[in-house]
A and B are shown apart, each in its own frame.
Chain A
């Protein structure tokens, strides 16, 4: 699983009307962990960076719809 996702397990009642989701996930993106960006971090190539939306590999954390098929060489 994506290292920027966290999970928790909400209480499940025997009387819940819908089928319970046992595990919930939430995003904790890389900006939470960096503090002030240190110098000389690894970079994407200019072409890759324009696609990724960031020059810095450490900040790349794409979000995918779980029901969507990846395309054009994207990886989760």
Chain B
């Protein structure tokens, strides 16, 4: 069960009307290494992983939904007052034709989200290594979006999200250490 707190994890501020940035940001919404893929991956892996790390997957999977909500807010703010002409100029004409200004789970190139982006192998180490890789890929994606954005307010929020990827990667790495630990440790019964 979840409790919903009606506020964003980090304030989202956007200083310029820039629908082109929304087109890039949607990568983190419905892309292969986006927040939706991350949340669904972690929450789904929880059932077949040792008890010790289930809580970690719950916590991080939940936080990914909070990040998804931030990305949605950013995209919405960047596009809500744009004219169809502006959207067309920003390369969002295809999106507008299909969705108006509604958000949709697809990547920056318009490819719709698919469960094939994520995996649940049932092997704890394989799954955690995939999670670590996913965090590093999301971190890199944030870097490239920040590099293309000249909006300091938006970049402030993106920097926060990138830092969270670093922390999540660290915690998954620690989860691997916890699962490795049993061996070589002297157990006293």
Chain A residues in the interface with B (C-beta under 8 A):
27, 29-31, 34-37, 50-54, 59-72, 74
CA distance in complex: A35, B163 (Å):
17
CA distance in complex: A49, B161 (Å):
13
B-chain residues with CB within 8 Å of residue A64 when the two chains form the complex: 146, 155, 159
Q: Could you show 15 A-B contacts with beta carbons less than 8 Å apart?
A: A27-B139, A29-B169, A31-B173, A52-B160, A53-B159, A53-B164, A54-B163, A60-B163, A63-B159, A65-B147, A65-B150, A68-B152, A68-B155, A71-B156, A72-B156
Those 6 A-B pairs whose CB atoms lie nearest each other, nearest first: A53-B163, A31-B170, A53-B160, A71-B152, A29-B166, A31-B169
**Cβ-neighbour of B143 out of A31, A63, A74 (below 8 A):** A63
Q: Is the interface of A mostly helix, strand, loop or mixed?
A: loop
B-chain residues with CB within 8 Å of residue A34 when the two chains form the complex: 170, 173
A-chain residues with CB within 8 Å of residue B170 when the two chains form the complex: 30-31, 34, 37, 59
Q: Is the interface of B mostly helix, strand, loop or mixed?
A: helix
How close is A39's CB to chain B, nearest CB, in angstroms?
13
B-chain residues with CB within 8 Å of residue A71 when the two chains form the complex: 152, 156
The count of residues in chain B whose C-beta lies closer than 8 Å to any C-beta of chain A is 26
How close is B91's CB to chain A, nearest CB, in angstroms?
20
Chain B residues in the interface with A (C-beta under 8 A):
10, 139-140, 142-143, 146-150, 152, 155-156, 159-164, 166-167, 169-170, 173-174, 177
CA distance in complex: A68, B115 (Å):
36
CA distance in complex: A50, B156 (Å):
12
B-chain residues with CB within 8 Å of residue A61 when the two chains form the complex: 163, 166
